[in-house]
Amino acid sequence: MKVSELFREYIWLIETLRQYDEMTFEEINDEWVLTEMSGGVEMARSTFNRHRDAIADIFGVFIECDRSNGYVYYISNESVIEGDTIQSWMLSTMKISNSIHESKSLYRRVQLEDVPTDYGMLDFIIDGMKRNVKLEIAYCKYDIETIPTVIIEPYCLKMFHNRWYVLGRLNREINGKKTSSFSLFSLDKIVWVRFTDKKFSLPDDRLSRLHHRPWTQAESTLAQVACRRSKIQTPGSSQC
């Protein structure tokens, strides 16, 4: 089976359990055979168990069995796919892809917006975040002809108005005083990036806040200003 087909089945299983909260394996199969993906063939229990394991590994979503309540299956940590989480974003994106795939006749009637992203750059920054390594970046600032370079501690990535940003901490010395500040860098404005040999640590409590907190007003304003200056148009709206 193709990987894309497997992912469609994973998304279907997650969304079905979210819709019904609790379901027996037989009830899951009743819904499954109604889909085009099944071809009218029931899902084997071994396939179902492999899907559970894969969903846990890929999405961090745990499908548990409550043996005391008639052997019903349910998502035990649904909070990870709600709100502003990477799992929620992944599932939303794949769910849309599933819906479009199941309606091929609508391909020409569905318009998507291109996301300006250098995926090599995105992968490099993600790798730096995993290693907790400071990054040196050359950044094309608005209204400035030169291309300055800075060293940042890459704290988090976020998509805002279909554009990827990295939130970086800068430690600098100004007039003999050490200062620390945060800045947003749009990935499509980064000219180049390289690893330094300097490590940094991100406190667990700050990591938790960065992961779960909403986009702050200050960050939102910075991103909107960047968007306006780059003159990016969004469908159905004025220049952002």
Residues 129 and 225 in one domain: yes
Residues 91 and 134 in one domain: no
CA angle, residues 112, 116, 119, in degrees to nearest 5: 110
Residues 74 and 136 in one domain: no
**In this predicted structure, what is the pLDDT of residue 23?**
96
Are the beta carbons of 204 and 198 closer than 8 angstroms? no
Distance of alpha carbon 16 from alpha carbon 14, whole angstroms:
6
Residues 223 and 181 in one domain: yes
Choose the final residue of a domain: 75, 109, 143: 109
Are the beta carbons of 177 and 165 closer than 8 angstroms? no
Residues 186-221 as b or e (16 or more Cβ within 10 Å = b):
bbbbbeebeeeeeebeeeeeeeeeeeeeeeeeebee
Within a domain: 37: yes
**In this predicted structure, what is the pLDDT of residue 113?**
65
Q: pLDDT digit string (tens) for 115-144?
A: 656 667 888 898 999 899 999 999 887 666
Residues 75 and 151 in one domain: no
Q: pLDDT digit string (tens) for 154-170?
A: 988 887 777 888 888 88
Choose the final residue of a domain: 58, 77, 109: 109
For residue 195, give every residue at least 6 positions away whose Cβ sits within 8 Å of its Cβ, in sequence order, or none: 128, 131, 133, 135, 136
Within a domain: 164: yes
User: Tell me, what amino acid is at 91?
Assistant: L
* Count of the separate structural domains present in the chain: 2
Residues 158 and 96 in one domain: no
Residues 124 and 226 in one domain: yes
pTM of the model: 0.51
Q: Which residue ranges of the chain lie beneath pLDDT 70?
A: 1, 3, 83-119, 142-144, 203-240
User: Roughly what angle, to the nearest 10 degrees, separates helices 25-32 and 45-59?
Assistant: 90
Within a domain: 127: yes
